[in-house]
Structure 1
Amino acid sequence: MTRLTRLALIAAAMTSLSGPTLAAPETFIIDGTHSFPRFSYNHFGYSKQLSRFNKTSGKIVLDKEAKTGSVEVLIDMKSVDTGYPVFNEHIQGEGLLDTEKYPTASFKSTKVVFQGGKPVAVEGKLTIKDVTRPVTLTITSFQAMPHPMLKKDAIGANATTKISRSEFHAGKHAPSVGDEVTIDIAVEAIKE
């Protein structure tokens, strides 16, 4: 056996002993044209009102092999959209969102929980009006695949949580207008 052949066999053996190559963490940038946090609450017992924020940014990092990740979301609170301009101004007022003093809200994860190969929850800290509280976003759907139009890897998810708005100093008109707020976020992100 020639020396070159022996070296090739040793290299092949060493490669097989080292195990499979692990996937590295992947970073995805949130697509602000397809990512909208929505919130709903009880309005005087008459109806469940649903509104959204139109400007959201951030990033998601996932390592599917290690089953870890992180999520950072920044919400422009001045982009609140109730469907009615006068109410948009009202909800941005001092006793509610107070967007003059607090123009943004944020979510930063502390843990991404996986079940099998998919994330099922994101634990983290939500900050509204400089008040930070722990929340868990329950992921109700998750998809990872190449984007059919952009030809890049992409992910998408829907997640939900409930908060008490008075805990964030936004409790004006409670309890007549419900203190419990359901937050649903639809998010799509494109690989960096």
Structure 2
Amino acid sequence: MNRLTRLTLAAVAAAGFSSAAFAKPETYVIDGSHTFPRFSYSHLGFSTQLSRFDKTSGKVVLDKEAKTGSVDVTIDMKSVNTGYPVFNGHIQGADFFDTAKFPTATFKSTKVVFDGDQPTAVEGNLTIKGVTKPVTLTLSSFTNKEHPMLKKDAIGANASVKIKRTEFNAGKYAPYVGDDVTIDIALEAIRE
């Protein structure tokens, strides 16, 4: 093999390795019409109540080659939907969400955990009522494929975490109204 052929093959191989090593992270914008954080808790031991937030925004960055990513979510706490308008107003009061002072809650990731090619958990900081605590969201599903209607790359995930509301200064009536709150997030996002 002559010297020119060896140099050409070496350059092609180097280009292939460098493009894999420097794969571009892709940014996905959260689809607010298909992303709904829900929360559930025990109500006086009688039933498990389930409510949701109707307005969520943010971005997800995913680098499939490097198996890294980030998640940045903002929840409009005034969009709480308990299914009962009077209770929507009550739960926004100072004893619970205090939306007059803290209109949003946020989750900002510190690490996305992968098992092979699939993300399985997202570690990060959850801020509610100005209190920030580290949490780990466990993913029960994750999908990355072309959106059949938009014809763009999209991701979808379902994640959950359990918190204690007393740790976020929202503990009125605990333990009668459950302190343990499960947060489930159904998320869809479209690549920019």
Shorter chain as denominator, the TM-score bin is: over 0.9
Structure (1 or 2) with the larger CA radius of gyration: 1
Query: How far, CA to CA, are the matches of 1:34 and 1:9 in structure 2?
Result: 53
SS in 1 for 2:167: helix
Determine the structure 2 residue equivalent to 1:39: 39
Question: Which residues in structure 2 correspond to 1:77-92 (within 5 Å)?
Answer: 77-92=77-92
SS in 1 for 2:187: strand
Determine the structure 2 residue equivalent to 1:11: 8
After the TM superposition, which of the residue ranges 8-17 and 169-178 deviates more from structure 2?
A: 8-17
Structure 1 portions without partners, runs of 5+: none
Residue by residue, what CA displacement relative to the aligned partner does 1:2-61 show, whole Å, maximum 9, x if unpaired?
A: xxx975763343112444432311100000000000000000000000000000000000
Question: Which residues in structure 2 correspond to 1:149-168 (within 5 Å)?
Answer: 149-168=149-168
**TM-score, normalised relative to structure 2:** 0.94
The residue type paired with residue 36 of structure 1 is F
SS in 1 for 2:166: helix
Determine the structure 1 residue equivalent to 2:58: 58
**Percent of paired sites with the same residue:** 69
Determine the structure 2 residue equivalent to 1:94: 94
Residue by residue, what CA displacement relative to the aligned partner does 1:121-141 show, whole Å, maximum 9, x if unpaired?
A: 000000000000000000000
SS in 2 for 1:14: helix
Structure 2 portions without partners, runs of 5+: none
Question: Which residues in structure 2 correspond to 1:106-145 (within 5 Å)?
Answer: 106-145=106-145
The residue type paired with residue 12 of structure 2 is T
Determine the structure 2 residue equivalent to 1:172: 172
Query: How far, CA to CA, are the matches of 2:14 and 2:73 in structure 1?
Result: 41
Query: How far, CA to CA, are the matches of 1:131 and 1:84 in structure 2?
Result: 27
**TM-score, normalised relative to structure 1:** 0.94
RMSD: 1.6
Query: How far, CA to CA, are the matches of 1:155 and 1:17 in structure 2?
Result: 31
